[in-house]
Structure formats: structure tokens, C-alpha cells
Amino acid sequence: TDAVVAIGMTLLILPLMEAASELGGDEEGSAATTSEYFQKDEKKMAALIFSFFAAALFWTMHDKIFRHVEYFTTTLLFLNFFWMGAIIFFPVATSILTQTPDSDLTSVVVYVGNLMTLAVLNLVMCIIIRRNPIVLKKKDRMPGMLSLAAMCVAILLLICALIFALLAPQVGAYCLFFLVPSHAIIRVVKKCRPDWKF
């Protein structure tokens, strides 16, 4: 799984690599400068940074879920395959988001839907592991309630972002700013429930 995530995160850079290869210009056109490159592809750059950290966040959640897992049930194995498929598709969703106009609502739905798929699968796998402690190396090392809370917060914020994008299509990808307070919300939950662990 770690190798699949690493490949998926690496593929995120390809649209920028393709744009960078055009800096030298061609036989008919003049070469672009570095500043022009960053100005022209600022949307791709922003999408790359956001997607990289989003993938890293879901990878971290996945690692916390499976850190002490020793055995896979058939259900857990297939859910993990679906999760890896969603990670591999993530660079495609990112590329669609950057290549289409800001007014294209479908690209936002595809991107947010991809993120939501990762979050929901993480949550379902976490619940399965908690209900089947036999898969763990040590039964007292199952994912904690704070892990469940973090995934639920991510899903709720993604739902809010999707609803906002549907109600205000002109906002486009800026609806993803709904995800910004996720870490702060988890800190509040942790403060309110100090007995909850990851």
C-alpha cells in the first residue's frame, strides 16, 4: 500500500513536468521565462500542493489504522484494494481539476468525490478492525476513537464542500477551503475528550 501511495503522489507532478518541458519554446515560438511559467500554471501548482498534502493526510490516517494489523480478512483486503484504486485515480482527478475551467462543476465533483471515497473507505476499514480485534498483533492496539472522529470530520467537511460547490458553482475548487479547519476541529475534540486516543 505504501508503494501505491508513493507512486500516486509522484504522479501528481506530471502536469507541471509537462508544462516545464515547454519552457524551451519551439521552432516557431519564443521560450517562456520561469516567472511566466509560474504565473501561467499557478492553478496547477496550487492543486499539486493541496493534493500532495491531502494524499499525505489520508496516507497518515491509513497508516494509523493498519499499523498494528497482522491479518487481513477478505472484506478488509478488498476494501484496501479499493482504497489503493482511489489513490491511483487521485492524480487523474487532480489533472481534470486543473485542465478544466473554474466554472466546470463536474471536475470539482470528481475531485471531492475522490477525496470522499478515500475518507469513507478509511472509516469503514477502521470500524471493521475495531470490530474484529483478531486481525491485530495486540488486541489493545486497535484504532482509537480519535481516529474515528478525524475521519468523520473529514467526511462531513467534504460533504459541506460538495454542497457549497453545487449551490454556488462559480466558487469552483475554492470550496475545498472547507477542509482547512479540520485539524483545528480535531484539536478541539481531543481537548474535550482527553481520554480518546488515535
Residue 194 has pLDDT above 90, yes or no: no
What's the average model confidence in pLDDT over 32-50? 72
Cα angle value 47/52/53 (rounded, 5°): 105
Span 171-182, mean pLDDT? Answer: 82
For 155-166, the pLDDT digits (tens) are 999 999 999 888
The model's confidence at residue 40, banded by pLDDT at 50, 70 and 90, is low
User: C-alpha dihedral over 36, 37, 41, 42, to 10 degrees?
Assistant: -70
pLDDT in the model for residue 26 = 55
Please give the pLDDT value at position 17: 74
Residue 184 makes CB contacts below 8 A (sequence gap 6+) with none
Tens of pLDDT, residue by residue over 112-134, are: 999 999 999 999 999 998 888 77
Average pLDDT of span 83-87: 94
User: ∠ CA(13), CA(14), CA(16), 5° rounding?
Assistant: 70
**What are 120's three cell numbers?**
469513507
Residue 195 confidence (pLDDT): 82
pLDDT of residue 160: 92
Residue recorded with cell 475518507:
119
Confidence of residue 39 (pLDDT cuts 50, 70, 90): low
Residue 32, classified by CB atoms within 10 Å of its CB into exposed (0-12), middle (13-18) or buried (19+), is middle
> What integer best gives the mean pLDDT of the chain?
83
Cα(17)–Cα(22) distance, rounded to whole angstroms? 9
Cβ–Cβ under 8 Å, residues 129 and 142: yes
pLDDT band at 22 (very low <50, low <70, confident <90, very high): low
> What is the rounded CA–CA span in Å between residue 191 and residue 198?
13
What pLDDT, on a 0 to 100 scale, did the predictor assign at position 100? 81
